Every structure is written in C-alpha cells, then in structure tokens.
Homo-oligomer: A and B are copies of this chain.
Amino acid sequence: MENPNKSILEGIIFIFGEDGVTLEQLSLAIDYPIDLTKILCDELIEHYHHDDRGMELVVFNDKYKFITKPFIRSYVERILTLSKTRQLSQSALETLAIIAYKQPITRVEIEEIRGVGCELMLKKLQAMELITESGRAESVGKPILYSITESFLDLFKLMSLDELPNLPTYEDRTEESQLFE
C-alpha cells in the first residue's frame, strides 16, 4: 500500500484545476513536511508521465496542476469545436525572450538588441498579459521598464524564471559550427 497522502495530494490538485496549488499549500493541507510532500508530488508526476495516462501533472509558476497531454486535443476536437490555437509571431517571441532574460528592461534596450522598433509589439504583449510595466528606469527621461508576467511562465511551461533554458554562449569554439549548420 502506498503512502495515503499521495491520493490526498492527487485529489486536492484535481479540485483546484487550472488555478493550481503551491507546494506550501499542499504541505499544509496534509500536515506533512515540505520536502517529503515534494517527494510525493514527484512520484505523482512520474505516475502521470506514463503513456497510459491522458493527463500530466505539471508545475508552472510554482503551482501544481493537471493538464491534458498534447495528443488529447485532436480527439476532443472531434466532439467539441475547439477554435484554433493562438500563434505567436517570430517578432513577438524574440521580444518576449529578450524581456524574460533581461528584465526589467526598457523599450530602447530591447530595440537595440532587435535592431527594429517594437512600440506596437510591446502594446500587443501587454494586451495579451504576457508582459507588464514594472516601474521606471533611473536614466534620463525615466523610461518605462517591462517585465514578464505569471501567464508567461504558464504559457511557456516554466516552473519559474530560473527554469528558462540558458542563453547560448557561443564562446566554445566547437559549438560554432552548429551556429549555422
């Protein structure tokens, strides 16, 4: 017989749905140490990772939640007219990437890296709640600083910003050949 706490965790995470629930809340609910609670959660993640399961247990923005596996969608579409998924343009992705890695960052700094203006793009990303104004820089004119939001973490399947893949360095000469294959 497994640790009964595991089934409790599973039920709690299920109830909170898309809102998710933090490790701290889970540990509190079952009155169990955080580190041990995490081990149980990891086991649950492992259980749902298996091919037999239609959902997976994920941690986005430090919150545990169940979401369907990618292959489910096409079957649901046969009985429910899901509208097509929203695409992000290459320029939106580049702008988001720069903000995620360099935040907080001003518009001018983003434009220096991209080599093109991005005023309109910043407005769009703000409207999509993927970035937010997070203050003003100390420099001349006190320009607005931009940072990414919690929705960004969820949309890119990130537990936290620390989980962002490392920026390539290219300093290693062996990697060079891979740069433009």
* A residues adjacent to B (C-beta < 8 A): 1-2, 4, 6-15, 17-19, 21, 25, 28-31, 51-55, 66, 68-69, 71-72, 75-76, 78-84, 86, 89-90, 111, 115-120, 123, 129, 151, 179-181
Residues B29 and A78 in contact, CB atoms below 8 Å apart: yes
User: Closest Cβ of chain B: how far from A129's Cβ, in Å?
Assistant: 5
The listed residue (B11, B51, B89) touching A4 by CB distance below 8 A is: B51
Look across to chain B and name the residue whose beta carbon is closest to the beta carbon of A27. B79
Q: Which residues of chain B come closer than 8 Å to A6, judged between CB atoms?
A: 52
User: Closest Cβ of chain B: how far from A79's Cβ, in Å?
Assistant: 5
User: Closest Cβ of chain B: how far from A83's Cβ, in Å?
Assistant: 2
| Measured CA separation A14–B11 after assembly (Å) | 13
Q: Which residues of chain B come closer than 8 Å to A54, judged between CB atoms?
A: 7-14
| Measured CA separation A111–B52 after assembly (Å) | 34
Q: Which residues of chain B come closer than 8 Å to A4, judged between CB atoms?
A: 51
Look across to chain B and name the residue whose beta carbon is closest to the beta carbon of A14. B55
| Measured CA separation A52–B48 after assembly (Å) | 13
User: Closest Cβ of chain B: how far from A122's Cβ, in Å?
Assistant: 11
User: Closest Cβ of chain B: how far from A61's Cβ, in Å?
Assistant: 12
Residues B12 and A75 in contact, CB atoms below 8 Å apart: yes
